[in-house]
Amino acid sequence: MVNFWQNIPDPAFSLAPMEDVTDTVFREIVLGMAAPEKLQIVFTEFTSVEGMNHPKGRERVSERLIVNDSENELLKAKGVKLVAQIWGRNPEVYHTIAKHISENYDFDGLDINMGCPVKKVVKTGACSALIGEPGLAKEIILATKEGTNLPVSVKTRTGIKQHQTEEWISHLQETDPAAIILHGRTQRMQSEGEACWDEIAKAVNVKNQVKPHIPLHGNGDIFSYADGLKKAAETGADGIMVGRGIFQNPWFFDPENTEITQEERIRKLLEHTRLFEQTWGGIKNFNILKRFYKIYLNSFPGAAKLRADLMEVKNYEEVYRYFNL
């Protein structure tokens, strides 16, 4: 097994897995804008192992694992690793799907979602609910590792109702995951309040005492590259995962590029639209694109009107026509 987590720069930067956001299209856009050596890892959207294991569900669920040839070329050219994130509750199904993904796809790693706090997911006993079942969580990690020759990492949170960071990280370490990515909030906090980087520092301290070879990456409220570097230095984290920060600035991984023109923003919006249409036209809802229009159209005079106008368009042709294309 080639464990890339051991061979990437410190601190490494990654783009977090996000539902209806980090598909192959958006990953390609972000990769294309990233400066050399500023982005090391990208993740797929969350993929249900139960869905992948269902004969009728696999085709639809596996859309989350699609990698366009154009994205793959960028990954190779820039030396960026691509990790498939999976979620569920059944260790045997994790084993089966880990094997399936390893044999049928070209990912650099697998990541187990033990962090999503969304209530409908938590009710199934998956994702952040597993923090409350450390025995089952460990079974899942070990079963996944047995099913693949890829490195298996875990993305998680500091606790359920309150921080239980040291105890939880100690449990995870027992399975020797390839890496741990820790969001500095509890399940109850959802996205509210501030991410607690003191808890991430505690986690770093715990793993350094027992399993110093396991990389631990921090996640939560990183809105600039400089802030990520600062948090890594303050906590000792081996890497920084960026989530919602990319919504404030899609050029996050090109920190020297601070003056992005209106023309460049519109050019990227149209590039994203065309690539989305080529990849998902007739499969995914066009309106998904509108969340991205909001992040491109800001920081210039007239941006608010453009955003408002584009919230009213109904299809790709109306977007192109709006920009006289």
pLDDT in tens, 235-283: 999 999 999 999 999 999 999 998 899 999 999 999 999 999 999 998 9
* pLDDT tens-digit readout, 169-180: 999 999 999 999
Tokens found for residue 141: 């990690």
* Spatial contact of 177 and 153, defined as CB atoms under 8 Å apart: yes
Q: Which DSSP category does 57 fall into?
A: T
* Spatial contact of 68 and 31, defined as CB atoms under 8 Å apart: no
Q: What is the pLDDT of residue 173?
A: 98
Q: Which fold has domain 4-248?
A: TIM Barrel (3.20.20)
pLDDT-based confidence at 215, cuts 50/70/90?
Answer: very high
* Spatial contact of 237 and 224, defined as CB atoms under 8 Å apart: no
Instruction: Tell me which residues are annotated as active site.
Output: 116
Phi, psi of 223 (to 5 degrees): -115, 5
Q: What is the pLDDT of residue 288?
A: 95
CA distances from 297 to 22, 122, 134, 266, 271 (A): 19, 34, 44, 7, 14
d(CA 130, CA 293): 35
Q: Which helix (H) or strand (E) holds 181?
A: strand 179-183
* Spatial contact of 108 and 74, defined as CB atoms under 8 Å apart: no
The domain segmentation of the chain, as residue ranges, is 4-248, 262-322
Instruction: Enumerate residues 6+ apart whose C-beta is below 8 A from 261.
Output: 300
Nearest to 23 by CA among 260, 298, 310, 292: 292
As a whole-number percent, the residues of the chain with pLDDT over 70 amount to 99
Mean pLDDT, residues 76-102 taken together: 98
Residue labelled with tokens 């500091």? 158
Cite the annotated binding site for FMN by residue number. Answer: 85, 155, 183, 243-244
User: Would you say the pTM of this structure is higher than 0.85?
Assistant: yes
